Amino acid sequence: MCGIVGYIGNRDAYPVLIKGLKRLEYRGYDSAGVALLNGDTTIYKKKGKVSELEAYVRGKETLSTIGIGHTRWATHGKPSDLNAHPHQSEKGLFTIIHNGIIENYSVLKKTLMDQGMKFYSETDTEVLANLIEYIYTSEDISVEVAVSLALQKVVGAYGLLVISREDPNLMIAARRSSPLVIGLGSNEYFIASDATPIVEYTDRVIYLNNDDIALIRRDELVLKNLVSESTKVNIKTLDMSISEMEKQGYEHYMLKEIFEQPRSIMDTFRGRINSETNEIRLGGLLDVKDQLVNAKRIVVIACGTSWHAGLVGEYLIEDLARIPVEVEYASEFRYRNPMIGPDDVVLAISQSGETADTLAAIQLAREAGALVLGICNVAGSSISRETHAGVYTHAGIEIGVASTKAFTAQVTVLTMMAIMIGKEKGLLSEKRFSQLLKELNDVPGQIEKILELNEEFKHIAEMYKDASNALYLGRGVSFPVALEGALKLKEISYIHAEGYPAAEMKHGPIALIDEKMPVVFIATKDSSYEKIVSNIQEVKARNGVVIAIVTEGDSIIKEIADHVIEIPKSDESLVSLTAVVPLQLIAYHIALMRGCNVDQPRNLAKSVTVE
């Protein structure tokens, strides 16, 4: 949420910043700005997309080799030119960009106003800029000390960059609960809220830890903690390529990511399943395997789409590994007093690895003594570092704000975990184990076949693009697929959609059914097939419109549903991996037909780093 980019070196800073902001725009896109330091500080900022900022700056003076840039997702203060970052302190000594929330900003603001300081924006960030300046001008101290003293007074989260005309060859980066990465060049540094703007310049990076302050000059990088003690620099190598971040001929990132799923799922299980030796090897879990296999209970914590993947995991782990599973919204778990202790295994699922509520829930589980494992997509992310052990999904960078390939990659990891534990516990015969591995191996090919039906999905989208409401229904492992289908539709097309367990329909949602509202059933041939056929009949008996996802060759539902989408037959445990794909594509086409910005839906941002 909010993108931060900074450059210090010998290049022209502005092109690096503007390119970086475009790469980061998926994190927030309601306003953008840059500050360039060249003796004095020049700030350009604009409400709207990065392209609007770029047009505004065209032809203006941008000469500078040190600068900072920001793309915003509003928290304090509505999107406007004034509330856009960077923010400058009252006398113009300090200029900052900030991601996160300063929770005690109103107390700080009042104190500073009592001292006669003026404020021009509604943001918490301006309060921090003024606080730094107030401390700096009240005492005879360096820029660096003023920043660390100010940060000691802050309650809340921040990832921030500070530049100052008082020390024009210095950039300060600081982090608490909001990520920052520093790319190391030769006498130059690239700083950003994630590695996407850095990868084209260097693959050597440092991920800041909480309460780190980095003092960055062209020829030197010093890491300190909040009380100015030096801390260890730990250089990592990025495993990311520029081409991954391009649309590669697709109209949208979301479409590209949907079509990547055969490959991304394969990348998730590559090297981890060996059908010849009949083995599943999840390297990141080797040290904790016994504890996992013998767990009395697994508690999944996640948000949004990752929470839906967790629900699929519940079904799989309980069915194949016979361990009780509870799936919790991280945002609820962390604010109650959960019954959790050293006997529990907590499994945090997150694409970005930066979701603030999931991170806070991890902290709580760790403090309670639980073993905390992670399923993460972004290597080096906070969640991957805060968990005791875990598994990367290896889906590749996901830029579309609506999560697609991350979901199927998470489900793939959960499937491997469930099968692995089931085998270790002696619950799965060799035959069943090999069959599941073979079925998992077949999934990428099955998704290829489903993607070939894209024109059919477009046709269905055309018919229902003007609906105001939609209902998604499934049973068993297909219920989370229904939830995920409804979430995809509502978040990118703004059509109200709800996911329900099909059997619950008659306890309420059935009242909504009329000839206008599409009801999407995930009705593949599984253990509850007959029941779901009855549910479809119940909808048809009330003149409802039914779109059904069925198993190839199904002739019964074809007779009753308005539209059927046939997907290849697979094991019941694996059906979520294939059944979700038509729902992703139908949501995509409907959103496009309604003129919505598919990759950057309104009010949303990728990586929710605020609570």
Of 202 and 403, nearer to ligand F6R (C-beta) is 403
Tokens 């539709």, located at residue = 489
The nearest distance, CB 608 to ligand F6R, in angstroms, is 5
Of 37 and 349, nearer to ligand F6R (C-beta) is 349
The nearest distance, CB 402 to ligand F6R, in angstroms, is 4
Spatial contact of 196 and 151, defined as CB atoms under 8 Å apart: no
| String of DSSP letters for 180-234 | -EEEE-SS-EEEESSSTTTTTT-SEEEEPPTTEEEEEETTEEEEE-TTS-B----
Q: Amino acid identity of 324?
A: P
Comparing CA positions, the residue from 84, 108, 110 lying closest to residue 98 is 84
Spatial contact of 578 and 447, defined as CB atoms under 8 Å apart: yes
Of 566 and 599, nearer to ligand F6R (C-beta) is 599
Site residues (vs ligand F6R, CB under 6 A): 303-306, 350-352, 355, 358, 402-403, 487, 491, 607-608
Question: What is the pairing mode between strands 158-164 and 171-176?
Answer: antiparallel
The nearest distance, CB 296 to ligand F6R, in angstroms, is 26
The nearest distance, CB 54 to ligand F6R, in angstroms, is 27
Of 382 and 446, nearer to ligand F6R (C-beta) is 382
Of 95 and 331, nearer to ligand F6R (C-beta) is 331
Q: Which residue is nearest to ligand F6R (CB)?
A: 304
Structural tokens at position 95: 């200029």
Residue 303: active-site member? no
Q: Which whole-number Å values give the CA distances from 529 to 534, 569, 596, in the listed order? A: 9, 13, 36
Strand partners, 72: 31
Q: How far apart are CA 60 and CA 63, in angstroms?
A: 9
Structural tokens at position 200: 């084209």
The nearest distance, CB 302 to ligand F6R, in angstroms, is 6
Of 253 and 529, nearer to ligand F6R (C-beta) is 253
Spot the catalytic one: 49, 224, 405, 606.
Answer: 606
Cα-to-chain-centroid distance, residue 205: 21
H helix count then E strand count, the chain: 19, 26
- Helical (H) or strand (E) element with 96: strand 94-99
What is the strand order of the sheet 220-224 is part of? 87-88, 94-99, 158-164, 171-176, 212-217, 220-224
The nearest distance, CB 398 to ligand F6R, in angstroms, is 8
Spot the catalytic one: 2, 303, 376, 596.
Answer: 2
Residue 458: active-site member? no
Other CB atoms within 10 Å distance of the CB of residue 297: 16
Q: Helix, strand, coil shares of the chain as percentages rounded to 5? A: 40, 25, 35
Other CB atoms within 10 Å distance of the CB of residue 200: 17
Of 27 and 87, nearer to ligand F6R (C-beta) is 27
Strand partners, 206: 182
The nearest distance, CB 383 to ligand F6R, in angstroms, is 8
The nearest distance, CB 606 to ligand F6R, in angstroms, is 7
Of 280 and 375, nearer to ligand F6R (C-beta) is 375
Query: Active-site positions?
Result: 2, 606
